[in-house]
A and B are shown apart, each in its own frame.
Chain A
Amino acid sequence: MEKYKKTVGSFLRYQYLPHLAAAVVFQIGAGAILSFRNLDAQGAAKVMEMYACLCGIILLIPVFVPESDRAVWQLEQSKMTPMWKLYLGRVAVATLLVAVVAGIFILRLWAGGSLFSVWVLWRGTFSESLFLGAIGFFVCAVTNQVVLGYMVSVAYYVANIGAADRLGKFGLYPILRGDTATWPWLLGAALLLLGAGIWLRERKR
């Protein structure tokens, strides 16, 4: 266990730090562009589903960055420790951070006197953020290009602005569109994509 803590710790320190900083700026910057005060359920859903969900892109996609260098990948592959365990540790931390960021947004809304269902909005945003990040994560695993991961996630987010209804269970902003039941689909798809991404990265580069 100590070994995994160390490897995740060094990943956070040497590779993940700029992305963590981006997540902090993302959180702080929200106050300049969004209002958290006195919102109704729709207003709160708009803040969470259209803005807060972007934290999934910031936090999940860079997980494979160190091994995008072939030499690093080969070195890690030659070690006793299976790579999927390393990836899983990183994904677990990133997932936890997504949950925390979504939680802080919920707290800000609550402190601002907005009226909404905390659990419904948190689980919806968490699932959506995870799904959005997992799309880029998976693309990154397939192509070994983090830029492509970001590009596809962002394109999916933008496409949903006009076409979320046409994407069925996998359309974004479900609560905003009055659907509070699709979050298990988004969460399930996110877990599937994350699992498939890790499996792919273990096998190929």
Chain B
Amino acid sequence: MIGTLFVKECRQILKSLVYYIYLVIFVVFITSQMSGTEWIDELDEPQPGQQNYGYGLSDSESVLMETGLEKLFEEVRGRSFLTYPFGFAKDVVPDNSELEEITEILEYCTGTDMMGLEEAYTAYWMGVEGEMVDYETYMRHLEGWHIPVREGLSYDEFLAGMEQVSQIVGKGSMYDGRYAHYAKEPLSYEDAMQSYRELCEKDGVTGAQMRLFCDYAGIIVAFLPIFVGVASCLRDRRAKADEVIYSKAVSGFTLMASRYAANVVMVFVPVVIWAFLAQMPCVYEAASRGIAADGFAFLKYSVIWLLPVIMVVLSASFLITEATDTILAIPILFAGGIASLFSASILTGDFGWKLIARWNEFGGYGRFAQEAGQLYLNRGLYVILAAAGIFLTVPVYGKKREGGSGPNGKIQKNRG
């Protein structure tokens, strides 16, 4: 029974215009974001004596202090502090007295007054102005400027200063320790070789590409399945078939499970197909250089990273739509998706419990391996939530079938 219903539901989805719009937006978005070929350079083996080997994260106290103070200088200059008080990005603009207080902290930590810092900064950029030919040169110069740190400033003093700034600008600011994600130092040849080996041996090249794919696809699958799910739940009512279906012998569980499974499969299949297509250039490029690529990375990453998102978004769409018989799931889940998207203070890692997990970089296997545990916990939680949501939808649907409940003892109709 469930198999037959599943096939029927899949056919219904294939007749839905919402589903085709989902497909078009997904394909256009992924194609536009992943058409670059910069990743090919990453497959070049580092050679001794190269001018630079890129940058990596640092845990050195001096680098952390420098980074924290540079971020503070940047934000004091702009009079705007980026914070994440409720997971959303929020620009805090302090008033004059607060800004003065923060400036004093900056001046204390650097041992230079604000005017002196401004002058040094301007002088540096004036000196390199004529060389600003391209973005790469600009970035090199950006990394070339460093703020002075007061001689004798201890790490504890620095942390206390950051804590004070954090209290002034509010929760979730850069000075809650987020600056550590920006503390970078140049890689040595050995470091670069290690990254290269990880890319080839542990990541199988395609793993790096698939994390990037999941980064982009994760944004889309956090939003668009909401519409597919809501449309699917409202379809019976629109077709005036709800009463007929209520009277059938089939159980609520069978009906909901088959409908839910059909939605998950129909939304997920194009994702897997596109993941496979996205990894193919990597497979060919790796083969041409004699590197063995991981041919199943598309499946592993899609299932672990993206499937739980699709499951939980569809599950929540089903539950809210069946419970309210309205389109309320759209604004609620859309707001949830936006919250998750804006809660990313960095675009590589820091998964926490975010629905949209970001990894906007080709490579970085070492850091990913350190954070992968949290990603698995995160995705596991969403799978459990998805299952809970769909199990809750069954009695809600059952209640409607029995004659309904709601305000005035009637099912609310015609609201979506």
Contact = CB atoms under 8 A, between A and B. Distances in A.
Interface residues of B, number: 39
A128 to B, nearest CB: 18
B231 A15 contact: no
A147 B25 CA distance: 15
A38 to B, nearest CB: 4
The A interface is mostly helix, strand or loop, or mixed, namely helix
A33 B416 contact: no
A35 B414 contact: no
Interface stretch (A66-74, A97-105, A116-124, A183-191): A66-74
A37 interface: yes
A147 B227 contact: yes
Contact of A33 (B25, B90, B93): B90
- Which bucket holds chain A's interface residue count? 35 or more
B25 A155 contact: yes
A35 B90 CA distance: 6
Contacts of A146: 327, 416
Interface stretch (B64-72, B151-159, B328-336, B362-370): B328-336
A151 B92 contact: no
Contact of A38 (B95, B227, B414): B95
Interface string B1-37: 0000000000000000110010001000000100000
A39 interface: yes
A14 to B, nearest CB: 8
B414 A147 contact: no
B230 interface: yes
A75 B331 CA distance: 30
A95 B398 CA distance: 39
B21 A32 contact: no
Interface string A8-48: 00000011001000100010010011110111000100000
A58 B332 CA distance: 11
B91 A147 contact: no
A83 interface: no
B234 interface: yes
A39 B79 CA distance: 9
A66 B327 CA distance: 12
Contacts of A38: 79, 93-95
A150 interface: yes
B135 interface: no
B18 to A, nearest CB: 6
A47 B79 CA distance: 17
Given A68-B416, A148-B21, A152-B21, 4 more contacts: A18-B415, A38-B79, A39-B91, A150-B327
Closest 9 pairs between A and B when the two form their complex, measured CB to CB:
A33-B88, A38-B93, A151-B227, A147-B231, A32-B86, A22-B331, A150-B330, A35-B91, A66-B414
Interface of B: 17-18, 21, 25, 32, 79-80, 85-86, 88-95, 223-224, 227, 230-231, 234, 238, 240, 324, 326-328, 330-331, 334-335, 339, 342, 413-416
